[in-house]
Amino acid sequence: MQVFEWFAESMAALSFVDIFNGCVFITFTIMYTYQLLYVLVVLTRRAPAYEAKRNHKFAVLIAARNESAVIADLIGSIRAQNYPAELIDIFIIADNCTDDTAERARAAGAHVFERFNQEQVGKGYALDFGLKSIWEQFPDAGHEAYFVFDADNVLDANYFREMNATFDSGAQASTSYRNSKNFGSNWISGGYGLWFLREAKFLNQARLTLNTSCAVSGTGFFIAADILKRAGGWKWHLLTEDIEFSVSSVIDGVRISYCPTAILYDEQPITFRDSWNQRFRWAKGFYQVFFHYAGGLVRGIAKNPKGYRFACYDMLITIAPGMLLTVISVVFNAAIVILALSGAMSVGIAVASSISSIFFCLFNYIVFMFVFGVLTTFVEWDAIRMSRAKKIRNLFTFPLFQLTYIPIALVALVKKATWKPIKHSISVDVAEFSEAPRKAEE
């Protein structure tokens, strides 16, 4: 009886601000604690490895808009694969280009489809156009799976050999290890690079090891031909078509695999404006996917075959606006402080609690990102292609980079997003990236 009285008195002493912030903290903790298990899995268990019994035939889809500076590098890295060249057909969708992307792609040996459509804008529409063009013009090509890359990518020489082993093991779709070809350009590209390494290592590798479904992230993945045939093309057209495909696949009982030994190098934005535009589109796209698919994932948690229920939960948390919880907490507490300063409410314990909650929320977020940055950097030290000094400096700028997601997520709630191209201009020596990751020059 005394315990209940103590609890009642304690609750009465709490302000409504304390109760609100406590609920947000508990909700956030319940939602994401399972990802700590992922860390333990990666640090204590080896990911499964596969060997192919035979080589399969693949098609490569690359949607490119004004990518003349980099398109030949990607095609060159595909041509340089330690895999039979006759089993890889390269198709470029030159999407609303105003430069010579199509000409450079043809000169590099790729098939090119030119598309001009100012109404259906976006990568998903370009991929759908490319798929249907292949099916119409190359009906007997015998492609068993379709790879999707961005035009700025370059591939390790063993990329297709490793992904072929994953496909041969029975995977219907798979993503790969996403590294950065301009890790050390500045704090922005460094932030992106570290985030994608963290995603590959501590999310997708853990999912692979636990035999649950992984998530496709923009580029560097394949989808089995029969899946796309059943879908009638590329049917995923939200702003983040990659995560939309991942979520709908899990709902439909399709497991997405991951190949940690297939290495792709991606070019990251180096200006804050480009970074804002890209991440704003991602944030808006995640809201769209959550709105369209959250119900299906909830039903999947309850009704899907046993092996896919956790995958549905994992994808639900992945698309859930977790950042929105941080935004809501900060905005709510800031509003309390503003109302108090304006005289609309009395200054007291609630206001003091709001101020402390804002700092607590932001401090916890920064510490969490710093810890993950440190963990990822030291686990993936040799894979990060920049000097030791830059690696250490990136540990401290990474949390600041992630902190800028807060205003982006807030603006994405109220502002319409449209697809905007990101300029890519970093051409690289393909041979430099056509080998296993080496230690950065110190």
Contact 218, 267 (CB under 8 A): no
From first to last of its 442 residues, the chain has per-residue pLDDT tens of 444 443 343 334 345 666 766 676 677 777 778 888 999 999 999 999 999 999 999 999 999 999 999 999 999 999 999 999 999 999 999 999 999 999 999 999 999 999 999 888 889 999 999 999 999 999 999 999 999 999 999 999 999 999 999 999 999 999 999 999 999 999 999 999 999 999 999 999 999 999 999 999 889 999 999 999 999 999 999 989 999 999 999 999 999 999 999 999 999 999 999 999 999 999 899 999 999 999 999 999 988 777 789 999 999 988 886 666 666 666 776 666 676 666 555 555 556 666 666 677 777 788 889 999 999 999 999 999 999 999 999 999 999 999 898 889 888 888 887 777 777 767 676 666 655 444 333 3
* Domain range enclosing 330: 14-36+321-414
Same domain, 209 and 288: yes
Q: How far is CA 383 from each of CA 177, 178, 263, 407, rounded to the nearest angstrom?
A: 11, 10, 10, 31
DSSP tag of 269: P
Residue whose pair of structure tokens reads 């976006």 in the numeric block: 122
Same domain, 405 and 272: no
Same domain, 382 and 408: yes
Which of 198, 91, 204, 210 is CA-nearest to residue 147? 91
CATH number at residue 286: 3.90.550.10
Same domain, 346 and 288: no
How many Cα atoms within 13 Å fall on the side-chain side of residue 323? 23
Contact 97, 60 (CB under 8 A): no
Domain-located, residue 99: yes
Domain-located, residue 73: yes
Same domain, 332 and 311: no
Looking at the structure of the chain, the number of domains it has is 2
pTM of the model: 0.87
Going across the sheet that includes 154-155, the strands are: 111-115, 88-95, 58-64, 145-150, 221-224, 173-180, 256-266, 154-155
391 vs 402: CA distance, rounded Å: 16
User: For the chain, first and last CA: distance in Å?
Assistant: 66
Domain-located, residue 43: no
Same domain, 146 and 77: yes
3-class secondary structure, 181: coil
